[in-house]
Amino acid sequence: MAFYDQLFDTLGLRAWCDAGGTGGGPMTMAELLAKSSGNSGAEEKPTPLLETPFPSLDALNAACPSVTRTRDMTDGVENAFLAIKDPLKFVLDPITQPLSWALNGSLEMFETIPWFILIPLLGLLVWYAARSMALVAFVIGSFLFLGLIDHYIYAVQTLSIIFVCTLICIALGVPIGIAMSRSDTMQRISIPILDMLQTLPTFVYLIPLIFLFSVTEPKLYGIAIILYAIVPVVRLTDLGIRLVDKDVIEAADAFGMTDRQKLWGVQVPLALPNIMAGVNQTIMMSLAMVVIASLVSAPGLGVLVLRGIRNLELGVGLVSGFGIVLLAVLLDRVTKAALGRINKSQKA
């Protein structure tokens, strides 16, 4: 007898329970083991009070087959998703196709440019952003080292994915953050969504996307990276604009500035350090997700990490992991140096 049998008998629900419900479905492993051991019909000893089982769906189903089981609930969620899969794919496919084109184009561009041109170009870009020769030397030295150990192409592939996804995160995240800062209602609606995106385990991002798109489509991992990495730039854009001194806003009002002029001439420039901090975190989160996305055909250093895990190649996994760390450090240093320049220019 199941533990909660007496509960359903006391409530007078035994007739409803015996009406059938899910009792005729596939048996659980515990039920199969009990049946094979010949204990399915044996009388059970009373359960001690301290060992009272939690009234979960499976425990209640054991006493009353009309109560749905956990597997029935998860099957229902899966069937509901599969029911809307085709209409959702029909809508999302044309919208997200440019993302595949951008990722493919970026990969082709970064791989086509010869190393002796791309590395100096990266050095010039770092000099423009940070004005630091030490940082330029560090970036160039890092890529030369990655080339020396035959990881240059993988590093460039990772960099190209981060480049596209970060630009899209900025293009979408900054306007959303601005909208949140100008509307308390928009902020109240957006914060729970951002909280969910920030706390959802990284692997969970891939589950619905695998059902919607082919594993060979770049937009599959592109969407996962963007959803995971967009949160910091949205939050910090909203925060930066809200932290602008009210006295400055009042001075702008006194000069007769319109809302648009105040936004782009006063609020956004003063919020730029916060926005850049959000961009820095977005880049770091994009890099973290690129490694996970290697499970769904994302190229780059994550492929080597996955190979090291799958084939138990310790050296391959550690060296490629070090390459990812090196890439993360140089991206972090460059964006922080750019942020430092912005802060100095505003204080000057």
In a domain, 77, yes or no: no
Are 292 and 300 a contacting pair, CB within 8 Å?
no
**For position 66, what pLDDT does the model report?**
83
Distance CA 37, CA 44 (A): 14
Q: What count of other Cβ atoms lies within 10 Å of the Cβ of residue 259?
A: 11
Domain span at 270: 84-347
Average predicted confidence (pLDDT) for the chain: 87
- Residues 220 and 273 reside in one and the same domain: yes
Write the CATH number for 174.
1.10.3720.10
Describe the crossing of helices 133-148 and 314-347 by its angle, rounded to 10 degrees: 160
Are 154 and 326 a contacting pair, CB within 8 Å?
no
- Residues 10 and 119 reside in one and the same domain: no
Distance CA 298, CA 303 (A): 7
pLDDT tens string 200-247: 888 888 888 888 888 888 999 999 999 999 999 999 999 999 999 989
**How buried is 81 (Cβ within 10 angstroms: 0-12 exposed, 13-18 middle, 19+ buried)?**
middle
In a domain, 331, yes or no: yes
Distance CA 105, CA 164 (A): 10
Q: Quote the tokens at residue 188.
A: 């109240």
- Residues 250 and 325 reside in one and the same domain: yes
Are 236 and 169 a contacting pair, CB within 8 Å?
no
In a domain, 176, yes or no: yes
**For position 315, what pLDDT does the model report?**
92
Number of domains in the chain: 2
Give the list of residues 6+ apart from residue 125 with CB closer than 8 angstroms, or none.
none
Are 240 and 209 a contacting pair, CB within 8 Å?
no
- Residues 207 and 325 reside in one and the same domain: yes
pLDDT tens string 260-298: 999 998 999 999 999 999 999 999 999 989 888 888 888
Per-residue confidence at 340, pLDDT binned at 50, 70, 90? Answer: confident
Distance CA 192, CA 28 (A): 36
**For position 207, what pLDDT does the model report?**
87
Q: Kindly list the distances between the CA atom of residue 108 and the CA atoms of 102, 111, 302, 331, 339, in Å, as whole numbers in the listed order.
A: 10, 5, 18, 21, 30
To the nearest 10°, report the CA torsion of 53, 56, 57, 62: 0
**For position 31, what pLDDT does the model report?**
55
Rg (CA), the chain: 28
In a domain, 73, yes or no: no
Lowest mean pLDDT among 37-41, 57-61, 87-91, 105-109: 37-41
In a domain, 31, yes or no: yes
- Residues 209 and 244 reside in one and the same domain: yes
- Residues 183 and 294 reside in one and the same domain: yes
pLDDT for residue 42 is more than 70: no
In a domain, 79, yes or no: no
Question: Where does a domain end: 40, 68, 96?
Answer: 68
Question: Where does a domain end: 13, 37, 68?
Answer: 68
Residue 206 identity (one-letter amino acid) = L
**For position 300, what pLDDT does the model report?**
93
Question: pTM for the whole thing?
Answer: 0.84
- Residues 288 and 335 reside in one and the same domain: yes
Nearest to 157 by CA among 118, 212, 210: 118
Distance CA 276, CA 174 (A): 10
- Residues 26 and 89 reside in one and the same domain: no
Nearest to 72 by CA among 111, 24, 105: 24
Nearest to 70 by CA among 40, 28, 16, 32: 28
- Residues 21 and 158 reside in one and the same domain: no
Helix, strand, or coil (residue 56): coil
Give 44-53 contacts, CB < 8 A, sequence gap 24+: 44/1, 47/3, 52/3, 53/3
- Residues 44 and 89 reside in one and the same domain: no
In a domain, 246, yes or no: yes
pLDDT tens string 69-94: 888 888 988 999 989 999 999 999 99
- Residues 118 and 143 reside in one and the same domain: yes
To the nearest 10°, report the CA torsion of 175, 179, 181, 184: -160
pLDDT for residue 38 is more than 60: no
- Residues 289 and 313 reside in one and the same domain: yes
pLDDT for residue 257 is more than 50: yes
In a domain, 155, yes or no: yes
